[in-house]
Structure 1
Amino acid sequence: MEETARHPLVVARLARDMTIKEFVTGIRAAAARRGLRSGTDEARVRKWQRGVEPNAESQMYIAEALGWPADVVRADDWPNWLPLTADGVVPLGPHSSVPALREAQRTAMERRTLLTISGAALSALAADWAHGPTAALAQVHDGKPIGEDFIVFLENTTRELASLDTEQRQHTAVLLDSYLSTVTDLLTRGRYTPALGLRLHTLAASLSQTVAWHRFDLGRHTHASQNWIAGLHNAYAAGDHDMGAGLLGDLAYQAAWRNDHTTAASILNHALTRAQNPAARCLLQLRLARTLAARDGQNERRAVLRALAAAEKHLNDAGTDRPAWCAWVSEADLAVDSGQALLDLGDIGRAHQLITEGERLLPAARDKTRGVFLTYRAASYLDQKEPEPAAAAATQSLLLARRIGAPRCVKLVDDLLPRFQPYRQAQGVQEFLQLAAA
């Protein structure tokens, strides 16, 4: 019975709150729209849910009964093509980690890129995570045996890929996708103990996070969201609350990037309920300060300053024992993010000092972050009506972003272009605008 309940067809049907009887009615209606008659009944649906594969024609009817066009069907990949959610978010549960990974893979196939995941759905997911079980959910699984040496190989290689310099990481997207697909297949079909399962879920969470940032940097927001969500499910299965909080923090960062600061603040407040590592809490507090300041800086001033003070304290408390996903958090990040928050509060002079200081402190290995920081510095110069140094910083950011393949940094520079138009006669501005147009 447990295997039946985990079948993707059951998950997809229940996500739409459909009984088997309603599902059968939908299948027959899909056939009737073609002038045909389907012999599908409840008994046949139950067979499909136990693993019997429907023919290609029935799969088209199944897609339409679930509210999706027939062109999502890949008949040779049953049941993996099934969409599992109505709103893009697989609900958290004891067996949700692999369905969430499959959902992310399906989204990456470009079939449902127009799906927008609502802020309400993301906030609800964060709330479910915050109130979920505290213990790991990883369980024994019986399939093809997996050797520990192979898992060690995957773990080590994944770490090496993640540690490459920014300029080299732009070449790793396809490789990371293949690793994540391999880990998903191991979780689905492999034989492993709870201990090895925990390591696989942890690896899936880490890979999903890295893949999500690749998608986000390319502006593929739906794909990024689904990978962060898949990572959250696997961190949940591994009982890694700091990792889960970090993945929620990434979803909040994306929401803030898209100017949905209400959703970002809601997600971050849920994430902070379980994050324990000081470095993790520092990062979450910095993001909370930024989004509160951007949402309503004057009315949120006290909350923003509290979050910044908390972030500074957590950074001072953070030692060398940090999760890999936030090991990079440093004085540079504290300075720049504090400066950005202060910009929204109207403290332009102090903000400019902090942003400049943070960019100076940043290590050479973090070139993509340097590109982002340089655009922040350019914006702070523009706020002070100093177009010459603004153009110099924006030019440096654009050249860097193009060299390392960082479209997100390029977009930040593009967003500044209208602000340079009144200063076309200032030194360096015309040259910058020509470079941006090239």
Structure 2
Amino acid sequence: MEETARHPLVLARLALGMTMEEFVSGIRDAAARRGLRSGTDEARVRKWQRGVRPSEESQIYIAEALGWPADIVRADDWPNWIPLTADGVIPFGPHSSVYALREALRTAMERRTFMTIPGTALAALAADWAAGPATALARARDGKPVDEDFVALLETTGQRLGGLATEERQHAPALLDACLSTVTDLLTHGHCTPAVGLRLHTLAASLAQTVAWHRFDQGRHTHASQYWIAGLHNARAAKDHDMGAGLLGDLAYQAAWRHDHTTAVHILNHALTRANNPAARCLLQLRLARALAAQGDRSERRTVLRALAAAEQHLSDAGTDRPAWCAWVSEADLAVDSGQALLDLGDTGRAHQLITEGEHLLPTARDKTRGVFLAYRAASYLDLKEPEAAAAAASQSLLLARRIGAPRCISLIDGLLPRFQPYSRTQGVSEFLQLAVV
């Protein structure tokens, strides 16, 4: 009965608040729209839930009955193509860490993105995370024992793939996906000791975060969200509060990138309730300051400055014992993010100074971040009405982004192009505009 209750068909139907009777009726209606008749009844649905595979035609009817387009169906991958939620957010529960991973992997296989996860759902998930675990983590009782040496191999592989420089990492997505899929299979079907299970959940969270940033850099936002959510579930299963806070911080960063600063602020406030490591808190406070400043409410100036001051204090308190996902946070990030927040508050002179200082402090190993910082510097020069300097910084950012394969940097520069148009005849700007269209 437990496996039946956990079947994706059951989960998807319940997520939509759909009764069995309504579901069966929806299948029959899908057939009727094609001038056909379906003999599906509740008994047949229960057989599907117990492992009987529906025909491809029936799977198409199932998709439409659940409100999804027919082209979501991959008949040879039943039932893994079935979405498990109505809004893309898996709620926390004893099996949710595996469900969330499966949902992320399923979403990544879709040829197109037809669902955007609402900010309200993300904020609610953050609030649920902040409230603490409500249920015990389920453990697989069947399956082959998971070998610790194999787990160690996966951990080493994940660490090396995640630590690649951007220029090399652009060639690694398939390897990362395969590694995460393997970890998911072990969590789903393997029998592990509590200690090994903890390591697998920790590894799943780390891999999901790395894959999410790949998807985000490529502009595949729904896919990125699903991986960050999957990472959050597994960080929670591993009882790693700092990692969970960091994954919420990533979701907040994405919300701010998409100009949903209200959602970003809500998520970050929840994340800060359970983050302990000073480097983690520094990063979260910087993102909170950026999100608050970007809301455009000058009355929040004091709140922004308090967040920046807290970030500075946390960075000074941070030693070498840092989580891997925020080990890179440095004076360079503090300077640039502070400058960007001040830029949104209208303090362009000080903002430009900080952004320039931060870019110079950045080590050569972080070229993708350098590209982003250069784009920020170009924006600050435009605010100062210095188009020649802005064009020089934007050109550097664009050339760097193209060399290392950093689409997000290119997107930032593309967003600045309309601001360069009034200066199209200015020395350096025309050359930059020509470079941008190549």
Matched, 1:188 2:196: no
Counterpart code for 1:248: L
AA aligned opposite 1:83: P
Task: Indicate the residue corresponding to 2:128 in structure 1.
Answer: 128
Q: Distance in 1 between matches of 2:308 and 2:260?
A: 20
Amino acid at match of 2:330: S
TM-score, scaled relative to structure 1: 0.96
CA contact (8 A) 1:173 1:214 kept: yes
The verdict on how the C-alpha distance between 1:235 and 1:137 changes in structure 2, with shifts beyond 3 A counting, is same
Worse overlay, 73-82 or 130-139: 130-139
Cross-structure match for 2:310? 310
Q: Aligned partners of 2:116 and 2:321: how far apart in 1?
A: 37
Following TM superposition, the consecutive aligned residue runs of length 4 or more in structure 1 with deviations greater than 6 angstroms are none
Counterpart for residue 298 of structure 1? 298
Assess if the C-alpha contact under 8 Å between 1:4 and 1:49 holds in 2: yes
Secondary structure of the 2:299 match is coil
Q: Which residue of 2 aligns with 1:419?
A: 419
User: Is 1:222 aligned to 2:248, yes or no?
Assistant: no
Counterpart contact for 2:4–2:50, Cα < 8 Å? yes
Are the aligned partners of 1:98 and 1:187 in contact in 2 as well (CA < 8 Å)? Answer: yes
TM-aligned CA distance change 1:92 to 1:113, over 3 Å: same
* Pairing 1:257-276 to 2, within 5 Å after superposition: 257-276=257-276
CA distance in 2, matches of 1:61, 1:425: 59
Segment drifting more, 26-35 vs 173-182: 26-35
Task: Map Cα deviations across residues 289-347 of structure 1 (whole Å, 9 max, x no partner).
Answer: 00100102412101101110111111111111111111100111001000000111111
Tell me, yes or no, if the aligned pair for 1:235 and 1:243 is still in contact at 8 Å. yes
- What is the aligned partner in structure 2 of residue 20 from structure 1? 20
Contact 1:249–1:284 (Cα < 8 Å) also in 2: yes
Query: After alignment, is 108-117 or 223-232 more displaced?
Result: 108-117
- Do the aligned residues in 2 keep the contact of 1:205 with 1:234 (CA within 8 Å)? yes
Q: CA deviation at 1:90?
A: 1.6
Alpha-carbon distance, 1:134 to partner? 7.7
The 1:65/1:378 distance shift into structure 2, 3 A limit, reads same
Q: How far apart in 2 are the matches of 1:69 and 1:348?
A: 48
Alignment partner, residue 11 of structure 2 = 11
Give the drift of 1:275: 1.0
Query: Which 10-residue stretch deviates more, 136-145 or 234-243?
Result: 136-145
Q: Which 10-residue stretch deviates more, 103-112 or 382-391?
A: 103-112
Distance 1:52 1:195, change over 3 A: farther
Contact 2:140 2:189 in 1 (8 A): no
* Deviation (angstroms), 1:166: 2.0
**What letter corresponds to residue 276 of structure 2 in structure 1?**
Q
Q: Does 1:40 align with 2:30?
A: no
Q: Which residue of 2 aligns with 1:400?
A: 400
Tell me, in whole angstroms, the C-alpha distance in 2 between the residues paired with 1:35 and 1:419.
55
SS in 2 for 1:299: helix
How many Å apart are 1:142 and its aligned residue? Answer: 2.1
Normalised TM-score (structure 2) = 0.96
Higher mean C-alpha displacement, 412-421 vs 259-268: 412-421
Q: Which residue of 2 aligns with 1:57?
A: 57
Q: Which residue of 2 aligns with 1:249?
A: 249
Tell me the residue number matched to 2:410: 410
Q: Does 1:231 align with 2:237?
A: no
How many Å separate the matches in 1 of 2:72 and 2:92?
24
Gaps (5+ residues) in structure 1?
A: none
Distance 1:134 1:107 in 2: 27
**Kept in 2: contact 1:97–1:234 (CA 8 A):** yes
Aligned-partner Cα distance in 1 for 2:436–2:424: 13
Q: CA deviation at 1:47?
A: 3.0
Moved more, 273-282 or 94-103: 94-103
Unaligned runs of 5+ in 2: none
Deviates more, 1:286-295 or 1:77-86: 77-86
Change (3 A) 1:130 1:151: same
Aligned partner of 1:347 in structure 2 is 347
Deviations 1:388-432 (A, max 9, x none): 221211111111111101111011112112222222343322221
Q: Does structure 1 conserve the Cα–Cα contact (< 8 Å) formed by 2:352 and 2:377? A: yes
CA distance in 2, matches of 1:55, 1:145: 34
SS in 1 for 2:298: coil
- C-alpha RMSD of the superposition: 1.7
Asked whether the 8 Å contact 2:140–2:190 carries over to 1, the reply is no
Contact 1:140 1:197 (8 Å CA) reproduced: no
Is 1:72 the counterpart of 2:75 in the alignment?
A: no
1:136 and 1:371 mapped to 2: Cα distance? 44
The residue identity in structure 1 corresponding to 2:74 is R
Aligned to 1:283: 283
CA 96–322 in structure 1, closer or farther in 2 if over 3 Å, else same: same
Q: Distance in 2 between matches of 1:30 and 1:414?
A: 43
Contact 1:138-1:237 within 8 A present in 2 as well: no
Amino acid at match of 1:33: R
* Cα 1:32–1:416 shift into 2, 3 Å: closer
**In 1, are the aligned partners of 2:279 and 2:318 still within 8 Å (CA)?**
yes
Tell me if the contact between 2:94 and 2:135 (Cα under 8 Å) persists in the aligned partners.
no
Alignment check: 8 A CA contact 1:137 1:239 kept: no
